[in-house]
Structure 1
């Protein structure tokens, strides 16, 4: 498992970027870059479970490790979801158990610097190295058209 960082500067407030990241209307838009039909089932509160799902009800089950509004969100991955069923003990999901995915928002020169730090299993490294920059561009587009 390797930790990788992805960063983008967005001409919008941290509040606007935060809203784009975690709002039920915009979350599926920027995460569609990863998988069509992507969605998150959660209340976004610290300690809450999150199901990150695609259009086939496959994905990851995680917990919110930290949530500091407009500044920082951290997810710890616990396992995978296949056909809507959580699996914490076997399958590909076990490669992700305990890995973290962190979102940090900082103000820089009146803009927002968004940094994603993510523990990535080796077999998915190439995919995320290609896909995260596209997802961040989508977040930027959505945030900059909202302010």
Structure 2
């Protein structure tokens, strides 16, 4: 597991950036860079619940069309400041695998920090990355943040 950090400056107020980053429709737009079918599901009745303690499944489709993704828990959500997601395993079809070697390879945190200065918001992402995904994230995460910036500044 490697810790990686990505940053971008967005010419928009922090409240707008925070909302756009986590809103279901716009989340799907900027995370499509990772997977064209990127989405999130909440097993509760509250759609798009990013509240502390909430479980969220971050899903997409494999190259063969199979449902896959990550099992996440919102460990902290301080509006317009910080969101912490703990990944506890993977989604494999209709199964959630949260124990054993496969799950352990993907367990870690993804933290979003937000800071505004003079109308520009800096988004910092600190993420634990599975060793086999380091090169992928090094290329793809900056592209995703560029897409987020584009959406926020539109």
Q: How far apart are 1:2 and its partner, in Å?
A: 1.4
Q: How far apart are 1:108 and its partner, in Å?
A: 2.2
Deviations 1:24-69, CA, capped at 9 Å, x for gaps = 1101100000001110113111001010000342100010010001
Q: Secondary structure at the match of 1:64?
A: strand
In 2, the alpha carbon distance for the partners of 1:64 and 1:7 equals: 21
Residue of structure 1 in register with 2:94 after alignment: 84
Q: Secondary structure at the match of 1:113?
A: strand
Does 1:52 find its partner at 2:58? yes
In 2, the alpha carbon distance for the partners of 1:10 and 1:139 equals: 9
Residue of structure 1 in register with 2:34 after alignment: 34
In 2, the alpha carbon distance for the partners of 1:93 and 1:127 equals: 19
Q: How far apart are 1:94 and its partner, in Å?
A: 2.1
Aligned length: 144
104-113 or 59-68: bigger deviation: 104-113
Q: Secondary structure at the match of 1:62?
A: strand
TM-score, L = length of structure 1: 0.93
Q: How far apart are 1:91 and its partner, in Å?
A: 5.7
Q: How far apart are 1:136 and its partner, in Å?
A: 0.2
Residue of structure 1 in register with 2:117 after alignment: 108
Q: Secondary structure at the match of 2:36?
A: coil
Q: Secondary structure at the match of 2:25?
A: coil
Residue of structure 1 in register with 2:153 after alignment: 144
Which stretches in structure 2 are left out of the alignment for 5+ residues?
Answer: 43-48
Which stretches in structure 1 are left out of the alignment for 5+ residues?
Answer: none
4-13 or 101-110: bigger deviation: 101-110
Residue from 117, 129, 134 that aligns with 1:125: 134
